[in-house]
Structure 1
Amino acid sequence: MEKKIIHVDMDAFFAAVEQQDYPKLKGKPVVVGGNSHRGIVATCSYEARSYGIHSAMPIFMAKQRCPDAVYLPVRYERYKEVSRKVFSIFYSITDLVEPLSIDEAYLDITHTSQEPIKIASFIKKEVLLQTGLTLSIGISYNKFLAKLASDWNKPNGIKTITKDMVPDILKPLSIKKVYGIGKKSADKLNSIGIDTIEDLMSLPEEYLIHFLGKMGTEIYQMIRGVDHREVQVGREAKSIGRETTLQQDTRDKNYLKDILLAFSKDIGRSLERRNISAKTITIKYKLSDFSSHTRSKSIHHYFQSQQAIYTLACDILEDIVLEEDLRLIGLSVSNFSQEEMQQLSFFD
């Protein structure tokens, strides 16, 4: 049986929630991420995007492009509240839901009796009725094509990609649309004259494996309409972390340790709530020239306590030679286990 996969993506979610909660903001360029020059754009309305503003852009750059935009802090708890309403609609249709983020998910509707287009229309109608928000939906027979389709007619669109449309519909698209090809890989391919998916199709599978590593085979198949990835129900987070852009660039490690302490407490509480432990801890930092760096440490036993996280984080920080000031610091834990720990650390 051919699969029926839906990819759902809320339109400019954070900004759309703000515009819905505060109707005076509708039609205006809205940037969510804070008003400080030190912040980063979390998301922005389509009105703001017309000025070239996009997610992950520093706020000071956004203000250069559109100084008259409305700049708002992130209200994550409010967005989670709205997200729960949206996801409850998804789960009313099928249990086979794979959340990708707070505003994005795959649904496997293969075994539902309704036609995919009717289900998509129902989702759009219910989300609008219950939240006042719009979303874009892609429908296809695999995850790669469904996600590609959801981006086709944004905002508030529906697009179906059927088997008979492949590969012709894909050929004119940029290689940046292909799952697994990031900016660095795209730049490398562009440098040898590979700009579109049609160009990419001209390369042998062996060459793609040599050029792109283990993703080479998957990409070779995906651009020909083949993607065997299943919708993963209850997919676990691969890491839990926190990060912040500093109010002022610094290399003062005592100040940075205060931030790591707050992060450690927050992450520790998250681990306890989920009843999981971790083996790996990572510090991410961004220098004043915007270059990003990470330092990780894995240990033999699992840890969960706030004290253990903080102590390990401080160990990593002490080993970092800071020759420039930091503008951002983050802390995360990964390599999880829900099994009972065989060996306890002295922290536990």
Structure 2
Amino acid sequence: MPLLRKIIHIDMDAFFASVEQLDRPELRGRPVIVGGRPESRGVVAACSYEARRFGIRSAMPSGRAHRLCPQAVFVKPRMTRYKEMSRQIMTLFHQYTDLVEPLSVDEAFLDVTANPLGEPSATRMAARIRREIQTATGLTASAGVSYNKFLAKIASGYQKPDGLTVIAPAQAQGFLAVLPIGKFYGVGRVTEGRMHSHGIHTGADLLRFSREELTALFGKVGGFFYDMARGIDTRPVSPIRIRKSIGAEVTLPADVLDLSKVTTILFEQVQRVAHSLAAHQTGGRTLTLKIRYSDFTTITRSCTTADGFFDADDMLRQLPRLLAATAAGYRQIRLLGVTVANLCTEKEARSLRLRQLSLPFPSG
């Protein structure tokens, strides 16, 4: 029988906003919004729990957040400061295990099945980690403990803020049966809507479907949902997270209709992406154009080539074709972005081209 894993998920509480309240005591207890100013057409990057009581959430337009809570304090993000605090917290994690998988600057998985402290209780370790974070930084964190990543992550959000939740193997099935389907890993708003249309509202509803039925409804991810409903998640905690894409986007100070202005802005985004690709010594085989219109409708247009995209010229050769497949020039645009994905080196791209050229032509 395989060894039962002990996984902890640590999630800092309202991290960006909490750092601002830590550094500026006059903000404590007040609704704080980290992001663009309401008049700047920016969005909410993060907000304090005091602000969340007004219905404010991340990615919400700052103007709307201000209307919901006029007394909120808007603070410009300080990524350098947040990363500094994050490094301190991640260093602390490594005192407990080498198997630390950061998901972002403010959350990480820890596999403590075997640990240098010889501590058999993951629950005690999670409690100790939370205490040490608060002592070292003055910030609070929530923790989830379970036997896989999916359940540990759900648990960490169950009693936020400053909470600790444990889902033992014997509790998992009952816990998942009543869990709203939108809380399941990989179920975004669109998939949640599709689930609801098939009568799937909780984990118990999901259990009624076979693996084949879920695959027919949702593609190969359906098999993943089948396992999730049964508390099965074999994904390892991976200390090295592989970057999947490099991109840049900008929310415009005013809606843009003029196609020449759109092209100029995209040229600037391409230069930013090219700089990042060079810094990471990589490129990618897929180029994606992202556009958000003034009514907040968001579309993407992509193309994939064997030659790949390694510099600005590579991207600019394909971008006009992608742009022509949008309503740019006919509809007002508020956001533009460019992303390169399916990352690879030039050597890898060259190898792929050679393999494709060596494929035999079908005989007539």
TM-score, normalised to structure 1's length? 0.92
Q: Paired residue for 1:58?
A: 61
Please list, as runs of the form range in 1=range in 2, the aligned pairs for 1:252-267 lying within 5 A after superposition: 252-267=258-273
Q: Paired residue for 1:96?
A: 99
Range that drifts further, 308-317 or 216-225: 308-317
Distance 2:298 2:200 in 1: 28
Deviation of 1:159 after TM superposition, in Å, equals: 0.9
RMSD: 2.0
- The answer for unaligned runs of 5 or more in structure 1 is none
* 2:81 maps to 1:73: no
Deviation of 1:162 after TM superposition, in Å, equals: 0.7
Distance 2:136 2:315 in 1: 40
Distance 1:180 1:102 in 2: 20
Which of residues 323, 328, 343 is equivalent to 1:336?
343
Instruction: Summarize the Cα distance change of 1:117–1:284 in structure 2 as closer, same or farther, 3 Å threshold.
Output: same
- The answer for unaligned runs of 5 or more in structure 2 is 352-364
Secondary structure of the structure 2 residue equivalent to 1:168: helix
Describe the superposition over 1:319-340 as per-residue Cα deviations: whole angstroms up to 9, x where unpaired: 5342211011111111111463
Instruction: Summarize the Cα distance change of 1:99–1:313 in structure 2 as closer, same or farther, 3 Å threshold.
Output: farther
Distance 1:128 1:313 in 2: 48
* 2:21 maps to 1:15: no
* 2:10 maps to 1:3: no
Secondary structure of the structure 1 residue equivalent to 2:60: coil
Number of residue pairs the alignment of both structures matches: 344
Instruction: Summarize the Cα distance change of 1:291–1:321 in structure 2 as closer, same or farther, 3 Å threshold.
Output: closer
Secondary structure of the structure 2 residue equivalent to 1:129: helix
* 2:56 maps to 1:41: no
Q: Paired residue for 1:324?
A: 331
Instruction: Summarize the Cα distance change of 1:23–1:220 in structure 2 as closer, same or farther, 3 Å threshold.
Output: same
Range that drifts further, 168-177 or 316-325: 316-325
Equivalent residue letter for 1:163: P
Distance 1:173 1:209 in 2: 21
Whether the 8 Å CA contact 1:260–1:310 is kept in 2: the answer is no
Please list, as runs of the form range in 1=range in 2, the aligned pairs for 1:186-225 lying within 5 A after superposition: 186-225=192-231
Range that drifts further, 150-159 or 171-180: 171-180
Distance 2:136 2:261 in 1: 44
Deviation of 1:257 after TM superposition, in Å, equals: 3.1
Please list, as runs of the form range in 1=range in 2, the aligned pairs for 1:1-348 lying within 5 A after superposition: 1-37=3-39, 38-112=41-115, 113-114=118-119, 115-314=121-320, 316-318=322-324, 320-322=326-328, 323-338=330-345, 340=347, 343=350
Range that drifts further, 133-142 or 116-125: 116-125
Whether the 8 Å CA contact 1:31–1:71 is kept in 2: the answer is yes
TM-score, normalised to structure 2's length? 0.88
Instruction: Summarize the Cα distance change of 1:164–1:341 in structure 2 as closer, same or farther, 3 Å threshold.
Output: closer
Distance 1:220 1:311 in 2: 43
Percent pairwise identity: 42
Deviation of 1:341 after TM superposition, in Å, equals: 5.6
Distance 2:21 2:302 in 1: 40
